[in-house]
Every structure is written in C-alpha cells, then in structure tokens.
Amino acid sequence: MIFVDIDGVLIPLRARPAGADGRWSGRAGDGHDRDGNPLLDRLDPADGRRLLALPGELVWASTWMADANDVVAPRIGLPALPVVDWSDDDEEPPRGVHWKTASVARWAAGRPFVWLDDETTDADRRWIAAHHPQPALLHHVDPYLGLTDIDLAAVRQWLDHRHEAD
C-alpha cells in the first residue's frame, strides 16, 4: 500500500516554476482556479502517472478526504482511490507522533506500506516500528518542493527491495 498526502506532497508550499526541475508539466499558476483554490495550480499533472507506476495500491491519506477524488485526482490523472477515514476515537498520540499515524497503521491492517507525507518524523517511525508488524517506509517529502523524482526513486528502491525479500 502507498498512502499519499496532498498538502505539502502533491501541492507544495511554494509554487513550482514551470520547468524548474526539468519535469513539471503543469502551467505556471496565475493564482486562479475554477474551484476557487489557487493552490491547485501547484499540482503537477505528471504526478498521477508517476504514482500509478509504483507497484502498490494507492490510498489517500489526507485531510482532503473524499475531495481528493473529486478535486485532485482528475487534475493529475488518477482514478478514484480509497480514502483513509480519520477516526475521532483515537487516543491523543504520544508527544511528537502525528495524529494520522495510528489511523494509517490501522488502515494498513498488518500489511507493509509506504506513507508519503510532509509531516512525519522519527517519532512516527518509532511508533510504527513498535505497533505495526510489517515493514513500513515513512517517507518525508519536503513541503516546499513537493513530490520529486528523488522521493519516488527512494520509494521504488524500498518497494523493489521488499519484493526481492519476499
């Protein structure tokens, strides 16, 4: 499974200048979008294809919830994906552990997973190692850059290593 956050991962905090890293295929944002969210111009339409090329089931792990399928997925060429349901029943996480961590682990249901997020830390990695029976890659994406080729290469390397180990 590959859990994907949106804000800071697919929508970086800084605008992506067209062609700056040699891969952004979107248009330079003019600050206006038909849905009224100027940040949607920061989506890279190529990210959908690049995520689909990874060997694993993609799952939204974002506060966008169902809006991820209605607003984000069509803009980057993704089909509707499952969406992690953020439980209000969770206890307060330990200090430093992200509020999403327990829900992501629960959704993975004992399966190996990758989590692409801009807010995970070593505290989340330790929590997952102690509470999740299978390997997991919590890959921190730089929120100012968003998802890059380097991020995807690290994920692919981890997934390839997992397949070799099986």
Report pLDDT digits (tens) over 24-75: 444 434 444 556 788 999 999 999 999 999 999 999 999 999 999 999 999 9
The CATH code of the domain that includes 64 is 3.40.50
DSSP string covering 54-68? SSS-EEE-STTTTHI
pLDDT over 80 (residue 101): yes
Predicted TM-score (pTM) of this structure: 0.88
The candidate with the shortest Cα–Cα distance to 127, out of 142, 115, 118, is 115
Q: How many domains does the chain have?
A: 1
Q: What is the dihedral of CA 125, 161, 8, 76, to 10 degrees?
A: -150
Report pLDDT digits (tens) over 5-19: 999 999 999 987 665
Is 19 domain-assigned? Answer: no
Question: What span, in angstroms and rounded, lies between the C-alpha atoms of 69 and 53?
Answer: 18
Q: Share the mean pLDDT of the chain.
A: 88
pLDDT value at residue 29? 42
Question: Measured in Å, how far apart are the chain's first and last C-alpha atoms?
Answer: 15
Is 31 domain-assigned? Answer: no
pLDDT value at residue 18? 61
Is 20 domain-assigned? Answer: no
* More confidently predicted of 163 and 126: 126
Is 32 domain-assigned? Answer: no
- Burial of 30-50, coded b for 16+ CB within 10 Å and e otherwise, reads eeebeeeeeebbbbbeebbeb
Is 137 domain-assigned? Answer: yes
Q: What is the dihedral of CA 115, 121, 123, 127, to 10 degrees?
A: 0
Is 26 domain-assigned? Answer: no
Domain that holds residue 94: 2-14+37-164
Is 43 domain-assigned? Answer: yes
pLDDT over 50 (residue 21): no
pLDDT value at residue 20? 43
pLDDT value at residue 62? 97
Report pLDDT digits (tens) over 69-96: 999 999 999 999 999 998 776 678 888 8
Report CA torsion sign: 95, 100, 103, 104: negative
Residue 21 CA: distances (Å) to CA of 17, 139, 145, 149: 8, 20, 10, 9
Determine what percent of the chain is predicted with pLDDT higher than 70.
86
pLDDT value at residue 24? 46
Is 30 domain-assigned? Answer: no
* More confidently predicted of 119 and 19: 119
151: left (phi over 0), alpha (psi -120 to 50) or beta: alpha
pLDDT value at residue 166? 60
